Structure 1
């Protein structure tokens, strides 16, 4: 438990320190600066995990983890469907636009894929998987709870920003960590995270219009519902 608490403390302090440094140096004002910042955070996270001798699994996948993780995302995807019905597709898409974007440009396609992939690696490996491996010595529940706490303290850095996203904590923290505890497939968590990040898909689909974005929201909801139904049928 001391090792788990030590890791949780060091990863949190390191991530906040890097963010403060990047802000003071005005690095995050450009897309390239944001990529450099997230790359630095990924390297620091890796070094912290190495300092605690955590054995992290690779990205190999048997294919079972993705349906399981997608099924757990059903309530999150249902919220997006409700948002479209309430706001309308156009307003919902406008709300999904990343805060750092003024207008769409082609560079956003490779940038968004790179940025959210790197962000996803940090989240999956160092906020979900590594804490779970350390805390789960006390059982699965302790592992999921411990990882969720680490996630909630670091994702969106709420101690600085004041932004505590309940949806992110429940689904990207608790639900994805639970899925990892069942299938041990970090790649499944990364893929589902990328499928779930609405701002990423705004960057990819904005030039195709509102209909394409709406189709993405509906498609992921239907796929999640399909896998959730299959999960329940297996339990019968």
Structure 2
């Protein structure tokens, strides 16, 4: 006699556009119940119309990863609705380095990138840890960048590079800290993707950028925790 198992649940920050929206679609197709998190419910509702749901469940939550009150409200709401969280995709990010370099970038720009791309992922993971540890083999997937690797740090994109370098470091620290709870933490690089952030000249579409996230969520063993991937291949930090 078979025992019913409820679908796995995944939360995607910055899920309302670009790679985040493609991740939501891919996870739905993989059988997940998806929580689409965006900075406003208006953005989330607009994004919902672009998803092919086919009767599958999509929850919407307002979550600004740079705002502690917004994180707390979202987490309180999720605790009331969920008994566990199987996958957290820390996708929300900014690329603010227009017409600046490491010699001209302002403290405010550095702070914005670091707060969104690195500190936001850390805080969301911290707050959702109680739900993650209730799942069997939960996974945290941090959407990073090749610009955050030691070999590819660029003085032309200083705040983005430094924030993704910090996110890569946070991935390794979180992986070590969460290993006793059976939670895996991965970083991935989606490549240069045609999004609002990446621009029209980028060679990849959002689905290609999202592919490794879906693969990590569905196929990769938690034993690979702490590793960094691009195109389903292990790469160096």
Q: TM-score, normalised by structure 2?
A: 0.30
In proportion to residue count, which structure has more helix? 1
Q: Which structure is larger by alpha-carbon Rg, 1 or 2?
A: 1
Q: TM-score, normalised by structure 1?
A: 0.30
